């Protein structure tokens, strides 16, 4: 039972480098999300998708781009990494529950930007 799988688990970047975080879910969920977690700030929504081919901005979208070319995959891109993007990134998905509030999270990607 894989659920939500994120790759990679750890990554170190230099300022200005680019990278893509991969998220895959095998639960046939319509909705997918990218959150970042910083100490003392909880989780903040970066971008989300309500279905294949759709994306929308969350609370903290600047410096990130996303794509949802296939229903099961949601990609998060950093075009030019900055130290402020050092964080733990979580992908999540949800199906058609009451308010889609039951999010299933991956185990996270720890990103350090030097």
Partner 1 sequence: GQQLNQSPQSMFIQEGEDVSMNCTSSSIFNTWLWYKQDPGEGPVLLIALYKAGELTSNGRLTAQFGITRKDSFLNISASIPSDVGIYFCANAGGTSYGKLTFGQGTILTVHP
Closest CB to partner 1 among residues 10, 14: 10
Cα dihedral across residues 27, 76, 49, 71: positive or negative: negative
Closest CB to partner 1 among residues 14, 96: 96
- Chain positions contacting partner 1, by CB under 8 A: 4, 31, 33, 35, 40-45, 48, 50, 58-59, 90, 92, 94, 98-103, 105-108
Query: Closest distance between partner 1 and the C-beta of residue 71, in Å?
Result: 15
Closest CB to partner 1 among residues 18, 102: 102
Nearest partner of 81 among 44, 112, 60, judged by Cα: 112
């Amino acid at each position: 039972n894989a659920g939500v799988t994120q790759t990679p688990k750890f990554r170190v970047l230099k300022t200005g480098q680019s990278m893509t975080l991969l998220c895959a879910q095998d639960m046939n969920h319509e909705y997918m999300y990218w959150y970042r977690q910083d100490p003392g700030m909880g989780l903040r929504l970066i971008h989300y998708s309500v279905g294949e081919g759709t994306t929308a901005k969350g609370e903290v979208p600047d410096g990130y781009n996303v794509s949802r070319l296939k229903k099961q995959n949601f990609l998060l891109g950093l075009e030019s990494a900055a130290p402020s993007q050092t964080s733990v990134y979580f992908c999540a998905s949800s199906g058609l529950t009451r308010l889609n509030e039951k999010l299933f999270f991956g185990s996270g990607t720890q990103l350090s930007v030097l």
